[in-house]
Amino acid sequence: MQTTLNRHTAQSPLQAEKTHFPFGIYKLEDDVANSHLISNAPHQHNSFELIWVAEGTGHYWIDNEQHEVGPNQVYCLTPGQVHQFKPERNIKGYVITFSQEFLLMPKENASLIFHSNSFRQLTGTTVIRLNEDVRTEMEDLVVKMLKEFDNFFLLRSEILRGLLNIFMIYLTRQYRPAAQPPSKQGNRTLVNKFFSIVEEKYMVFKLVADYADELAVTPNHLNEMVKKVSGFPASHHIRQRVVLEAKRLATYSGSSMKEIAYSLGFDDIAHFSKFFKNFSGRSFTDYKKEAMQQYLCI
């Protein structure tokens, strides 16, 4: 397996327009999917990805681990994973990409959405084998997503988000995590408790030490355990949860940056602005402008 990393960008004007949308769906046999997924070199993407192989065979390398590709398999990739897909013959299926903020809705709609911790459960696995009993229902959802994605009607993103959430629920029902050795089970229990506390107290607790005190462990131990399970230290997840909530509020609440900063526990708006840019990769103003264009049909 080669070690040079590539990133793909769409070429046509329509493809370029869709690239900026925080959701994408393509047929695996189409040129768009090929340019996005199939490469002569390992590469990374910044989005979550679901690769559903409906027919055909081949090989898939994910983080230097080789997998045999076969029918009725869905590969679940999180942002930053290094992967290389090499189909052999008669490959058919679908590629679905989405950002985390696209899947998650504001808290008042929490009962209707796929909770962030639920998707995190998929992070430790690579492939889910589909049950034939639900494949028809899942294919029907995919066909509807493909049709809606190719249109630009009112509330397009809301329909796509709803269909994606249902698809993810079907997928999660079929997820069977591999058995963990007792030592790793203990690590995962600690990490799951950490994520639960983050979800409850991210507006108040900003330091790893705050969470370590709650869990009665040292900050170094917590960072190490979280990194072993998730690939990132505890500090990364704390910051990203705050950034995610800031993105939600910027997109859905209509609040100003000052109001959002204060609601997330920042007394200094300049500190919040710097924090957001450092850990999201763009300024708050730029993000809000793009989000309004992407999520609201004006």
Q: How confident is the model at residue 182 (pLDDT cuts 50, 70, 90)?
A: low
List pLDDT tens digits, range 257-295: 999 999 999 999 999 999 999 998 889 999 888 777 655
What pLDDT is recorded for position 199? 84
Residue 272 or 82, more confident: 272
Domain made up of 19-174: CATH architecture? Sandwich (2.60)
Fold that domain 183-296 belongs to in CATH: Arc Repressor Mutant, subunit A (1.10.10)
- Is the pLDDT reported for residue 125 higher than 50? no
What pLDDT is recorded for position 34? 65
- Is the pLDDT reported for residue 124 higher than 60? no
Q: Is 227 exposed, middle or buried (0-12, 13-18, 19+ CB in 10 A)?
A: middle
Average pLDDT over residues 29-51: 75
Average pLDDT over residues 39-63: 82
Residue 225 or 176, more confident: 225
**Predicted TM-score of the model (pTM):** 0.61
Strands 127-129 vs 73-77: parallel, antiparallel or unpaired: antiparallel
Residue 69 or 39, more confident: 69
For 187, the token pair is 């690590």
Q: How confident is the model at residue 36 (pLDDT cuts 50, 70, 90)?
A: low
At position 275, the amino acid (one-letter code) is F
Buried-exposed string 103-118: b where 16+ CB fall within 10 A, e elsewhere: bbbeeeeeeebbebee
Residue 189 or 140, more confident: 140
- Is the pLDDT reported for residue 219 higher than 90? yes
Q: Are 253 and 263 in contact (CB under 8 A)?
A: no
Q: How confident is the model at residue 214 (pLDDT cuts 50, 70, 90)?
A: very high
For 197, the token pair is 């506390």
Residue 283 or 45, more confident: 283
Domain locations in the chain as residue ranges = 19-174, 183-296
